[in-house]
Amino acid sequence: MTSEPMKGKVVVITGATSGIGKAMAMELVKKGATITLTTRDMGRGQAVKAEMLEVSGNPNVEVLLCDLASFDSIRNFCKAFLSKHDELHVLVNNAGIWDFDRRISHDGIERIFAVNFLAPFLMTDLLLGRMKESAPSRIVNVGSALHGGTVQFEDIEFSSGFSGFRAYRQSKLALLLYTRLLAKKLEGTGVTVNCVAPGMVNTNLARDAGPMMRGMFRLLGKSPEKGARTPLYVTSSPGVVNMTGEYFSNMKVKRSSKESYDMELAARLWRVGEGYLKRAGH
């Protein structure tokens, strides 16, 4: 293997200015990848870019504005990326949030559902054509071992009885169901899609989830570098090149919750996602 096994590979990572996304970006840029990071704060994004250049000497890093709580911002990001890049080999839908109180996105949608599920749903759709043209390519969705429960279709945004924990679990179950169905839809295209559970990691994820949860993440969470190991493995390892529709934890395929294998549930959820985007003019 060369010292730059990702040289020539074009990678998009959301939420890469801190935590797992930043740790992934740091490793991939050292391996020679061409990387585009999303950021809501260009100053912060440029600081991370400078840090990546310093540790790797790889100048092929760009930072583009993207607020994942806004469909318009996601569209603008994808338009800007596609105008600059003829190829896309890896899309890492890493960004995620966990609110303690119910908050609303720019599009008037409960924010956990908007950012953790609808944002990757839209971004993947907008970039998928370029990924098919660049095949073999990989989509990596960063999920959670906390996924579970069910999809509360009658009140998917928790407009009554909001629980940040239940909303987060539902969003990660939704992401896994989406991953499995998308894998079936992409059969024969050369594009794989997998979901990874990094485990409890000491990141900014729990900053809005309440003092008890913040304390748990600080005390029990592994470092972002350790948390990035499984996502990095699924992103770049030759060993998973033909694997798709799987759930990875500790660099191995694992069983996920019973609900996450229900393809009728996945198809219903897909229609719900399409409905949200249609109402927003996509």
CB-based contact 224:170 (threshold 8 Å)? no
Number of Cβ within 10 Å of residue 268's Cβ equals 14
Catalytic residue annotation: 168
Sign of the Cα pseudo-torsion (231, 247, 11, 123, in order): negative
Neighbours of 57 (CB within 10 A): 9
For residue 224, what are its two tokens?
């972002």
Give every CB contact of residue 274 below 8 A, 6+ residues apart in sequence: none
Q: Output the CA torsion 33→38→39→42 (10° steps).
A: 70
In terms of DSSP bridges, do strands 247-249 and 252-253 run parallel, antiparallel, or are they unpaired?
Answer: antiparallel
Q: Encoding tokens for residue 204? A: 């900014």
Contacts for 85 with CB less than 8 Å, ≥ 6 apart: 10, 34, 36, 130
Radius of gyration of the chain measured on its C-alpha atoms: 17
d(CA 190, CA 135): 5
Cα-flanking dihedrals φ and ψ of residue 140, to 5°?
-120, 115
> Distance from first CA to last CA of the chain, Å, rounded?
42
* Joined tokens for residue 38: 């999303």
